[in-house]
Amino acid sequence: MSKVTELLINGVKYSVDVDAGASLLSVLRDDLDLVGSKYGCGEGQCGACTVLLGGAPRRSCITPVGDAASKPITTIEGLEKDGHLHPVQQAFLDEDVMQCGYCTSGMIMTSVGLLKVHPNPTEEEIAHYLEGHICRCGTYPRIVAAVRRAAKSLQEVRS
Amino acid sequence: MNTPNDFSTQFEPERYELRAGPTYHFGLPRRDFFKFLGGGIVIFCLRDSLLAGQEAGRVHRRPDESLPQDIAAWLHVNENGEVTVCTGKVEVGQNIRTSLTQAVAEELSVAPGSIHLLMGDTDRVPFDMGTFGSRTTPTMTPQLRRAASTAREALIGLAAEAWKVDPVKLIAANGAVTDPESQRTASYAELTKGRELAKAIPAEDSLTPPAQWKVMGKPLAKVTGRDIVMGRHRYPSDIKLPGMLYGKVLRPPAFDATLTSLDAHEAEAIPGVTVVHDGNFVGIAAPNPRVAASALAALHAAWQSPPQPSSDELFEYLKKNVEQGEDHNRHVTGSMEKGLADASQRLQQTYTVAYIAHAPLEPRAAVAEWRDGKVTVWTGTQRPFGVRGELAEAFRLTEDKVRVVMPDMGSGYGGKHTGEAAVESARLAQAARQPVKLVWTREEEFTWAYFRPAGVIEISAGVASDGAITAWEFHNYNSGSAAIGTLYNIPNQLIEFHPVKSPLRQGSYRSLAAAANHFARESFMDELAHLAKMDPLDFRLKNLTDARFRDALEAAAQKFGWGKAKPQPGHGFGIAGGFDKSGYVATCAEVAVDPASRQVRVLRVVTAFDCGAVVNPDQLRNQIEGANNMGIGGALFEAIQFANGRILNPHFAQYRVPRFSDAPAIEVVLIDRKDVPSAGAGETPIVGIAPATGNAIFAATGKRLRALPMAPKGV
């Protein structure tokens, strides 16, 4: 099997030595200790492992690392810039979303991806876009509210 | 606090997975304590029994003896004015790290940011049974408030001594003691400098009354929120140690299977792989998870398992396998014969509840490390000391040779009382002579954890012509006795819990059997109301004098607009309520049934909740919203299917849990009873949603659904 030797994650080049078929999530967590992306199911069913690949949300648990080698990867660890949280991160704090928080990084990554392509989604559109994510604590209404809040604050930044 | 009608405590405890806790022997000498924490002031919370002994003057301790043995928690103010609180309670998403911080901030008059809670580390915190039963708020919160209040008085005492003034003239505020007369101020840091003062909470203490709370009773954001949104918080499955290996366990194809042969040659030939074979346990330790997975696949094992029942025959099985009943599982008032004779109408129904999975998003995970004959395990559990006992038993160690550390974990819902992954990772680490991490797969979590008990509930009752319930007979088979009693005023009652030899491994689940018993009771109440041709709310109120339960029902009904608007075609309204763990809840739901697909959707929910004085209204709302959303799963579609010792749906693709599209609009009414001690809130708000939804489905369709889940494939 072919090997992957370099990954571009959060703007930083990382040297690795892994089979191209290994899951991106395992490489992030176990080889690089970037553990903000979570294992929830390993089957692409819960969304806890979501990262941005070339700017689009992807389930890292079912993404072979070989598919990620040619594109920039953004994980939850890479959203904050110079001490400033990304507006989606800030909105999750402002809406006080979290109970256990284990689903949070995946929810945030998909929401960041959503707002890139759809800057002003309705509550229904947010719920639809996040349908592949599970929050077992059931904080769904707060997550929707947080994404709405983030959309508003991003629009304020733009205008 | 139990109401006169709450006799559930006399019933058999249903925490099937719990074993008797280990005897606690805490013997840290005073000197070591300050060496570990640094100088300052330490306040000990004694266990209630010891506190009682102290009141009676029985506890005498010379200075410099080892610390009191039976400590529930302690609080330390160090020489920088930072506060460390040590408690055996753990954070699993119920946000007690935040509410306990508020309790300390309130009584000690410091900023929440200067308080750090050290939780669930068995070498660092006093023994605690575990975090379950909504006990943290009613028990640990007052303990820590008393400790904080004692610390505040001690700090005032130090200032009074230094300034030679009467301590009652001094004020503690914002982390400092001030003398209003002389305008002198000393920060807690200044006051504790060079001190090593240890004190137990006095029997007499003064706590701030809820009406004067400044920090408690108000929202405070989750204290670890920033770490979580940045991906920086380390959950148990995120722990990494130098030189750590990755573990895998070979699972049998069925429950109760026996290993008959194992060929491990191929796996053992893989470089860096250790194979452990010890009785029925077969596991792998390998340098990385990929190698561990290949090695696992290279094992060739044969198993033998006995024939076992399937979910198709579950409810007949439960009725046929009742274990010998005991008197304490039976409650009788009056005479059923007389009650039924007084009735003008009688009704009998049977309800069932399926096994369901907790499915916490973080599966079981553990990292184990052996050093000098002592094992340390980082793991996700609601009972760190229980897991310490499991490890001590499994490895024949004394408990001082076992340390369990519990980082705030990815939830539990009652499903992580046990230490399977901890024991497995410790066995692998012992053999490999290196630390080993083991994270269960989702399939393992669905299969090898334990389940919310299934059950059969039979109810019969009689109603007089005026709508008064005259007789009530209630039998619960297997699901449990929590909230089995009724708060409705019924003169003649027979209530019995029947333990059953469960075909699956079962254990606690959020609210225990309160959800099942409320589903049956409140669905049946709805059926009785229709039989009596009364509005379901009026019928409940007619049979109810408990003021707090009435208030909850009326508050929910009012917010929902019960009795005002009519549902549109295909929609229905339902109401249900109850009492458990000192909390009163009432839930109204509106459902819509799709005319084509017959799928049920819960559109709107109002829950009114009274858990005494509210500690943190925003976190409380979050718990109530979450409980409703989680409860929709068990109400409508969650069920474990099994056959012959195998779980047939151990994946999220097959076991449907509530998702965004299932979440209704939820309104919460908090009944803030400042005159009543605060009760826990993690569990009871879940009990109303299933019966309210079922009653709403009946209102929409005329169809009465008596089995949980009610509509996995629609109505």
pLDDT in tens, B114-129: 999 999 999 988 888 9
d(CA B315, CA B368): 41
Whether A37 and B231 lie within 8 Å, measured CB to CB: yes
**Crossing angle for the helix pair A87-94 and A104-117, to the nearest 10 degrees:** 130
Please tell me the distance in Å from B663's CA to the nearest CA on chain A.
Answer: 7
pLDDT of residue B110: 97
Residue B215 vs residues B91, B211, B691: alpha-carbon distances, Å: 20, 11, 36
Give the closest residue to B171 by CA, choosing from B195, B182, B194, B190: B182
Orientation angle between helical segments B689-701 and B514-531, nearest 10 degrees = 30
Residue A14 near chain B (CB below 8 Å): no
**Among B710, B689, B296, CA closest to B511:** B689
Q: Closest Cα partner for B318 from B63, B503, B460, B52?
A: B503
Say which of B410, B413, B652 has its CB closest to residue A102. Answer: B410
The stretches of B211-256 forming alpha helices (DSSP H) are 225-229
Strand stretches in B253-408, DSSP E: 258-263, 274-278, 281-286, 300-304, 330-333, 345-353, 365-371, 374-379, 402-405
CA distance A141 to chain B (A): 7
Q: Give the residue from A31, A96, A104, A131 with the most B CB atoms within 10 Å of its CB, the best one to mutate.
A: A96
pLDDT of B359 reads 98
E-state strands within B12-61: 40-46
For residue range B307-334, what is the model confidence (pLDDT) as tens digits?
999 999 999 999 999 997 666 789 999 9
Chain A positions touching B231 (Cβ under 8 A) are 34-37, 75-77, 105
Mean pLDDT (whole number) for B386-410 = 97
Residues 6 or more apart whose Cβ sits within 8 Å of residue B243: B434, B435
CA closest to B409 among chain A residues? A100
Residues A98/A104, Cβ–Cβ less than 8 Å: yes
Q: With an 8 Å Cβ cutoff, is B439 touching chain A?
A: yes
Q: How many residues does chain B have?
A: 715
**Which chain A residue shows the shortest CA-CA distance from B362?**
A40
Q: Given CB atoms, is B603 within the 8 Å cutoff of chain A?
A: no
Instruction: State whether B359 and A38 contact (CB < 8 Å).
Output: no
Q: Note the residue count of chain A.
A: 159
For chain B, give the percent of residues with pLDDT over 90: 85
Question: Residues of A with CB below 8 A from B686's CB?
Answer: none
Q: Tell me the C-alpha distance between B262 and B265, whole Å.
A: 9
CA distance B533 to chain A (A): 36
Please provide the distance, in angstroms rounded to a whole number, between the alpha carbons at the two ends of chain A.
50
- Residue B3: pLDDT band with limits 50, 70, 90: very low
Q: How far apart are CA B605 and CA B668, in angstroms?
A: 8
Q: Burial of B266 by CB count in 10 Å (0-12 exposed, 13-18 middle, 19+ buried)?
A: middle
- Which helix (H) or strand (E) element contains residue B422? helix B420-432
Look at A22-26, B21-25, B427-431 and tell me which has the smallest mean pLDDT: B21-25
Please report, as a single letter, which amino acid is at residue B137: T
What is d(CA B523, CA B543) in angstroms, rounded to the nearest whole number? 15
Does B659 contact A134 at a Cβ distance shorter than 8 Å?
A: yes
Task: Tell whether the model's pLDDT for residue B55 goes beyond 80.
Answer: no
- Asked if the Cβ–Cβ distance from A41 to B666 is below 8 Å, we say no
Q: What is the 3-state secondary structure (H, E, C) of B374-399?
A: EEEEEECCCCHHHHHHHHHHHCCCCH
Query: How many alpha carbons fall within 13 Å on the CB side of residue B310?
Result: 6
Per the CB < 8 A criterion, the answer to whether B102 and B546 are in contact is no
Residue B430 has pLDDT above 70, yes or no: yes
What's the gap in Å between the CA of B665 and the closest CA on chain A?
A: 8
Tell which residue, B452, B386, B382, has the closest CA to residue B640.
B452
**Inter-chain residue contact B661 with A128, CB threshold 8 Å:** yes
Q: Which residues of chain A have pLDDT under 70?
A: none
Quick one: pLDDT at residue B203? Answer: 66
Minimal Cβ distance to B652: which of A46, A98, A138: A46
Task: Identify the CA nearest to A16 among candidates A51, A77, A66, A78.
Answer: A66
Using the predicted structure, report yes or no on whether residue B22 has a pLDDT greater than 80. Answer: no
When pLDDT is cut at 50, 70 and 90, the band that residue B26 belongs to is very low
Query: What residues of chain A lie within 8 A of the CB of B653, using their CB?
Result: 43, 45
Q: How far apart are CA B110 and CA B101, in angstroms?
A: 10
Measure CB to CB from residue B411 to each of A18, A39, A136 and give the nearest one. Answer: A136
B360 touches chain A (CB under 8 A): yes
Backbone φ/ψ region at B616: left (φ over 0), alpha (ψ -120 to 50), beta: beta
pLDDT digits (tens, 9 = 90+) for B693-711: 999 999 999 999 999 999 9
- Which chain B residues are closer than 8 Å to A29 by Cβ? 238
Mean pLDDT of all residues belonging to chain B? 92
Q: ipTM higher than 0.95?
A: yes
Chain A residues whose CB is inside 8 A of the B112 CB are none
Other beta carbons within 10 angstroms of residue B525's beta carbon come to: 26
Interface of A with B in 52-81 (CB under 8 A): 75-77, 79-80
Strand ranges of the sheet holding B492-498, from the earlier edge strand across to the other edge:
B330-333, B492-498, B469-477, B455-463, B345-353, B707-708
**From the list A18, A130, A137, which residue is nearest B93 (CB)?**
A137
- Residue A60 CA to residue A23 CA, distance in Å, equals 7
Mean pLDDT of B544-555: 98
**Mutation choice for A interface testing from B229, B364, B440, B625 by most A CBs within 10 A:** B229
